[in-house]
Amino acid sequence: MKTARRRKTASLPIKRRKRRAVSKRKNRSAKSAKSVKPQAAKGPYVEGYQTGHEEGYNKGYEDGTKQAEGQRADHSHSWESAERAGYEKGLKIGRYEGGDAIIDEQLPEAHVLPDTSVAQVIASGIAALGDRIVHLLTAQQVAERLMEALEQRKPLSVVRLGDGELLTLAQESVLPIEQVRHEGGFLEYAGVKVPDIAARDRLLAAVKRADIVGIPKLRQPNYQRLATAVFQTYGIDFRSKVLTDSLVNYRLYQDGHLPRLMRGRRVLIIGNLAQPLAKVLAESGVAVVGAVAHVQGIHDVDRVMGEIRQHDFELALVSAGIAAVILADAIAVEMGKAALDFGHMANSIVKGEAPIQA
């Protein structure tokens, strides 16, 4: 009877056989090995058929699963490949339009410039424009000026302009408010809620008074190119203003100048990380005389200056976002002290990424 039923099953349509096979697999998996009842001896044909059927089903199931997983992986991989291809294409076009295309436009008609790379053309152009190149103070030169101010007890402010400061300065005068708001979504975190023309004007006054101003070296839209537009708009002369790299705070650390500047000096720490930074520096041998924390943006400067005046110090390290520029300027002008816009160097020290020993 069993043999007849199995042969009858074999003659069923494929879909019905698959359904029965699936049902049998589910029933078998639901039972433990001990609950399976012994069956009568099976003939070679039936056992071979059953074994082949089960093995074939299992292999097909496993292959199907693997194939499905492979398709999912291939789908993900195809997106990554497409994204990468799009990036490479855009990069290639951008490099042409920003380099060779300009050379093509500048060459006289029916002329080419073979065997000359874009880099060589730019190098030649820079050499020809040598009289227009603006010198930036190196980290060592900035450190020397700070040391001189500290030794002679003279005021000195070192401030830095990044994209946040430049976008704040650009409000309405260089860029429309909507563009500043769109490109400066981080500005509120840095202490300015756009539009804020009063903050712009106060920041501008501090930049004009500052002794050393750090500007971005990168010729990107919201960095050096925006700095150029801002300076030109407000009549700040690149050649008469003492400038340095806006990353001078990091350069001073990398070149080993920070310990020398702080050694034997009364140092005041200002900014939202003032307390943890003061703790780390004090443990490193720095004579920290105070920590003024919680600077709530540019419009909190007057209150913060009230706290700063209560401390006797020689060097102030200010990490307070955009407000740091105004604070550093005020410390130098009003108190006759040396102040360094310390920026995210404070984060690096607190996190242990930049160990320091005074």
Q: What is the pLDDT of residues 86-139, one digit of tens each?
A: 888 888 888 888 889 999 999 999 999 999 999 999 899 899 998 989 999 999
Of the two residues 324 and 1, the one the predictor is more confident about is 324
For residue 301, what pLDDT band results from cuts at 50, 70 and 90?
very high
The domain boundary residue, chosen from 200, 227, 247: 247
**Which pLDDT score, from 0 to 100, does residue 187 have?**
94
Do 273 and 221 share a structural domain? Answer: no
Task: Kindly tell me if the per-residue pLDDT of 11 is higher than 50.
Answer: no
Element (H, E) at 160: strand 156-160
Do 259 and 239 share a structural domain? Answer: no
The domain boundary residue, chosen from 247, 264, 299: 247
DSSP 251-294: HHHHTTHHHHHHTTSEEEEEETTHHHHHHHHHHTT-EEEEEE--
The domain boundary residue, chosen from 193, 212, 247: 247
Do 332 and 257 share a structural domain? Answer: yes
For residue 85, what pLDDT band results from cuts at 50, 70 and 90?
confident
For residue 28, what pLDDT band results from cuts at 50, 70 and 90?
very low
Do 188 and 229 share a structural domain? Answer: yes
In a domain, residue 297? The reply is yes
Range of the domain at 168: 160-247
CATH of the domain at 293: 3.40.50
The Cα–Cα gap between 4 and 266 comes to 101
**Which pLDDT score, from 0 to 100, does residue 353 have?**
96
Q: By three-state DSSP, how is residue 23 classified?
A: helix
For residue 61, what pLDDT band results from cuts at 50, 70 and 90?
low
In a domain, residue 37? The reply is no
Do 242 and 175 share a structural domain? Answer: yes
Q: By three-state DSSP, how is residue 175 classified?
A: strand
Whether residue 167 contacts residue 237, with contact meaning beta carbons closer than 8 Å, is answered with no
Do 263 and 296 share a structural domain? Answer: yes
The pairing of strands 243-245 and 212-215 is parallel
Do 302 and 254 share a structural domain? Answer: yes
Task: Kindly tell me if the per-residue pLDDT of 17 is higher than 60.
Answer: no
**Which pLDDT score, from 0 to 100, does residue 60 have?**
55
In a domain, residue 178? The reply is yes
In a domain, residue 8? The reply is no
Do 206 and 194 share a structural domain? Answer: yes
In a domain, residue 173? The reply is yes
Do 345 and 258 share a structural domain? Answer: yes
Do 344 and 266 share a structural domain? Answer: yes
Do 274 and 207 share a structural domain? Answer: no
| 34, 63, 65, 70, 84 from 78: Cα distances, Å | 48, 21, 20, 12, 10
Do 327 and 291 share a structural domain? Answer: yes
In a domain, residue 193? The reply is yes
Q: Number of folded domains in the chain?
A: 2
**Which pLDDT score, from 0 to 100, does residue 68 have?**
57
Task: Kindly tell me if the per-residue pLDDT of 204 is higher than 90.
Answer: yes
CA atoms within 13 Å, Cβ hemisphere of 42: 14
> What mean pLDDT is predicted for residues 324-334?
98
Q: How many CB atoms lie within 10 A of CB 18?
A: 13
In a domain, residue 190? The reply is yes
CA atoms within 13 Å, Cβ hemisphere of 64: 6
**Which pLDDT score, from 0 to 100, does residue 82 have?**
82
For residue 73, what pLDDT band results from cuts at 50, 70 and 90?
low
Chain-wide mean pLDDT for the chain?
85
- Burial label for 209, CB within 10 Å (0-12, 13-18, 19+), is middle
In a domain, residue 140? The reply is no
Task: Kindly tell me if the per-residue pLDDT of 41 is higher than 90.
Answer: no
